[in-house]
Amino acid sequence: MAVITGDIVPLNRSEHGYAAIEGLAGTMVQAYLLRLNQPVPEERVRRTLRELVTAYPKLRAALEPGLHRYHFRILPEGPLIDQLFELAYQVDPHLDPDDPEALEAWHRERVHEVLPLERGLGLRARFVPHAERPVLCFGVPHILGDGMTMLQLVKQILRGLNGQPLEPMALEAPSMIGSIAPEKWWQWPRQVLRSRRHKVEEARRLASLNIQQWPTQLGTHFSTTGLRHHEVPTPVADLRRTARELGVSLNTFLISALAQTFLDQAPNDPKAAAVIRISVNLRKYYPESAGHGHLWGNHVGAFLVIEQDARKPLRERVKSIDASIKEGQERYARREMCWTYLLEEALPWLGRTLIGHIGVQLKRQGKFPKISCHATSLGDANHVNLPDVPVRVVQLTPTVNSISPLPVLVEMNGRLSLPCSWQLGETPVAAVDDFHQRFDQVLARMVAEVLPQGAAA
CA 280/CA 328 separation, integer angstroms: 9
Residue 313 backbone dihedrals phi, psi, to 5 degrees = -60, 150
Residue 340: per-residue pLDDT? 81
Q: Where does residue 23 fall: left (phi above 0), alpha (psi -120 to 50 degrees), or beta otherwise?
A: left
Q: Mind listing the pLDDT tens digit for each residue in 45-63?
A: 999 999 999 999 999 999 9
CA 342/CA 330 separation, integer angstroms: 18
CA 21/CA 33 separation, integer angstroms: 24
Element (H, E) at 424: none
Q: What is the mean pLDDT of residues 277-291?
A: 93
DSSP 280: E
Write b or e for each residue in 110-141: b if 16 or more Cβ atoms lie within 10 A of its Cβ, otherwise e: bbebebebeebbbbbbbbbbbeeebbbbbbbb
Q: What is the mean pLDDT of residues 20-27?
A: 84
Long-range contact pairs involving 319-322 (C-beta distance under 8 Å, separation at least 24): 319/247, 319/248, 321/248, 321/252, 321/255, 321/256, 321/259, 322/248, 322/249, 322/252
Question: Reduced to 3 states, what is the DSSP secondary structure of residue 138?
Answer: strand
CA 417/CA 406 separation, integer angstroms: 13
Half-sphere exposure of 25 (CA within 13 A, CB side): 29
Q: Where is pLDDT greater, at 351 or 201?
A: 201
Residue 332: per-residue pLDDT? 95
Q: Mind listing the pLDDT tens digit for each residue in 396-430?
A: 999 999 989 999 999 999 999 999 999 999 999 99
- CATH fold for domain 183-394+401-450: Chloramphenicol Acetyltransferase (3.30.559)
Whether 2 has a pLDDT exceeding 70, the answer reads: no
Residue 141: per-residue pLDDT? 95
CA 363/CA 242 separation, integer angstroms: 41
Residue 454: per-residue pLDDT? 53
Q: Are 230 and 433 in contact (CB under 8 A)?
A: no
Q: Are 97 and 135 in contact (CB under 8 A)?
A: yes
Whether 1 has a pLDDT exceeding 80, the answer reads: no
Q: What is the mean pLDDT of residues 320-341?
A: 94
Residue 344: per-residue pLDDT? 82
Domain covering 8-161: architecture: 2-Layer Sandwich (3.30)
Residue 457: per-residue pLDDT? 44
What lies within 8 Å, CB to CB, of 405 at 6+ separation is 213, 214, 372, 373, 374, 420, 421, 422, 427, 432
Q: Mean pLDDT for the chain?
A: 94
Q: What is the mean pLDDT of residues 361-367?
A: 91
Q: Do 8-161 and 183-394+401-450 agree at the fold level?
A: yes
Q: Nearest to residue 344, comparing CAs of 308, 309, 302?
A: 302
Element (H, E) at 91: strand 89-91
Domain ranges of the chain: 8-161, 183-394+401-450
Q: What is the mean pLDDT of residues 180-186?
A: 90
Residue 59: per-residue pLDDT? 97
Q: Mind listing the pLDDT tens digit for each residue in 61-109?
A: 999 999 888 999 999 999 999 999 999 999 999 999 999 999 999 999 9
Q: Are 166 and 49 in contact (CB under 8 A)?
A: no
Confidence of residue 442 (pLDDT cuts 50, 70, 90): very high
Whether 353 has a pLDDT exceeding 70, the answer reads: yes
Q: Where are the alpha helices (DSSP H) in 294-351?
A: 314-333, 338-344, 347-350
